[in-house]
Amino acid sequence: MSKSKTGGYKGPYGYQKRKDGEGRSCVRYKCSLMNTVLDVLHQRPGWVEVKEDGEWDFNWCDVGWLRENFDHSYMEEHVRICHFRNHYELTRKNLMVKNLKRYRKTVEREAGRLEAVKCDFFPLTFVLPSEYHLFVEDFKRSPGSTWIMKPVARSQGKGIFLFRKLKDIMEWKKDCTRSDEQRDEAQVESYVVQSYIENPYLIHGRKFDLRVYILVTSYLPLKAWLYRDGFARFSNTRFSLRTIDDQYVHLTNVAVQKTAPVYNPEKGCKWQMQQLRRYLTAKHGTYVVEELFKDIDNIFIRSLQSVQKVIINDKHCFELYGYDILLDQDLKPWLIEVNASPSLTASNQDDYEMKYSLIEDTLHIVDMEGRLTGKEKRVGGFDLMWNDGPVFRENAGLETLGSPFQTANTHLGGVNDRKKQLRQLLKPFPGQKKV
């Protein structure tokens, strides 16, 4: 696949209008990010950047732009944009909690207790100030435990703190001037308070969380892809419950670690998912780790199902989510949060290559060029995880009917030989000779 700049296409209107599904040889794009995404778009054959007010076929926008412009834009059938209108139902902590709680109730009602237990992957959470009293009840029931306060809409670890005494958040309640950075007109910033996981899985004393990428191309029906690569982000210091004021210990976001006194930018404090998976397999054996990754798959699917009916489905939209998962000492995975705009800025060369491939494969799946049949179970590093129902590795046939031995079509932390797979899968770009 050629990575040369598309110098040949002068005149942005020199494209042919084709019916949806036949693909385009020239794609006009807008991009509001100045990082890896821009590089991928620049280097994609046949894709041309358009100026501020020009018409576009593809928009990699930020959520701010979306909020202001989505409702006023008319998009032709073929146009694609990288967010769903109300993605915040999944990505804002208070709304996610509300949707998950409601979903759990539905599951319990329809499928019973045992099934509902599979929804218990998020720590006990309350929205403040609305659920303050409910929270206090639970707080009193478990004295001495640690809780974590997170602002609903901020990212990169900003505004987060831990506490054990009610008085620590009473002050916050009374002191409205504290969170003055991003105050809305008259409202105090919404927070969620969550039970802090005090027994995280540690690797030689260090806490880490997992970043996993999920691509959703449709909510109704639900179609979601899981990327094989991801990483484990380590806290730079050793985990201890002694000092809950040290946010460097507890928060594993790279953004927070970057300002920690001992951060070494060259190190990156990250392990590739493959490395983590191998480490866990060496420690606990293949079976245990396979069960763990099945539990992690379960988190993705159920979290998406919980917002399936709430998210405004729109065939123009797709979204690449960054899921944050934390493991505890019993190897139970917990959902910490879902990001609609996961950082695509690279911290080093390896990270750059990973993110470049991630975005490239996302664009392959969005398929403006019309090269896919729609029946693919794998595109590059993405595996189709859910397609209006579970997707299995084995192809359906008489032998597999009713067989309990079907394995899910997910390979998180597995070998990612995407280049080879793409060579076999994709037709060359329209207008390009076959490589």
Partner 1 sequence: MMNEGSELSVTIAQIVQRLKGTHLHSQLEKQAKECLHRPEIRLESIKEDVRKFLRATGWERKLQNAVYRELHILPPSGHPEAPLEHTKEPLAYMRKAQASWEKRILKSLNSMCTELGVPLARKRPVLEQKELTSKWNEMGADEPDLSKFRPVYAPKDFLEVLINLKNPNHDHSDGLTARSHWGLIPISLSVRDVPQLREAYPELSLSCSQLGIDDHAHVPPDLFESEHIRIGKKVVDEQDSAAAQQYSRQGSPTGLRAQLWALILNITNDPEDVAHYEQLKAAVIHHDLLVDNLIYKDVKLTASNDDYYFVFEDVLYQVLLCFSRDTAVLEHFSYNSATPPKSYIQGKTGEEEFAVVYPPNGVIPFHGFSMYVAPLCFLYNEPCKLYSVFREMYVRYFFRLHSISSSPSGIVSLCLQFERLLQIHLPQLFFHLQEIMAQPLRIAFKWMVRAFSGYLSTDQLLLLWDRILGYDSLELVAVLAAAVFAFRAENLMEVTSLASAEAVLADLSTLKVMPLLQIFLFANVI
Binding site for partner 1 (CB under 8 A): 203-206, 234, 237-238, 262, 264, 266-271, 275, 278-279, 281-287, 289, 350, 414-415, 417
Element (H, E) at 128: strand 125-128
Angular region, 268: left φ>0, alpha ψ -120 to 50, beta rest: left
Query: 263 in helix, strand or coil?
Result: coil
Residue nearer to partner 1 on the CB measure, 168 or 246: 246
Residue nearer to partner 1 on the CB measure, 77 or 266: 266
DSSP letter (8 states) at residue 260: S
Beta bridge partners of 326: 334
> CB 412 → partner 1: shortest distance, Å?
14
> CB 205 → partner 1: shortest distance, Å?
6
Query: 356 in helix, strand or coil?
Result: helix
> CB 274 → partner 1: shortest distance, Å?
8
User: Beta strand pairing status for 333-339 and 319-327?
Assistant: antiparallel
d(CA 195, CA 117): 18
Residue nearer to partner 1 on the CB measure, 398 or 415: 415
Residue nearer to partner 1 on the CB measure, 113 or 204: 204
Sign of CA dihedral 402, 405, 409, 412: positive
Residue nearer to partner 1 on the CB measure, 148 or 269: 269
Residue nearer to partner 1 on the CB measure, 130 or 286: 286
> CB 267 → partner 1: shortest distance, Å?
6
Residue nearer to partner 1 on the CB measure, 176 or 282: 282
> CB 328 → partner 1: shortest distance, Å?
16
d(CA 122, CA 113): 17
> CB 287 → partner 1: shortest distance, Å?
8
Residue nearer to partner 1 on the CB measure, 322 or 413: 413
> CB 429 → partner 1: shortest distance, Å?
27
d(CA 3, CA 45): 7
Tokens of residue 29, six digits:
């794009």
Pick the closest to residue 155 from 207, 216, 92, 95 (CA basis).
Answer: 92
d(CA 379, CA 341): 22
Q: Which amino acid is at 393?
A: R
Query: 287 in helix, strand or coil?
Result: helix
395 phi and psi angles, rounded to 5 deg? -75, 140
> CB 312 → partner 1: shortest distance, Å?
39
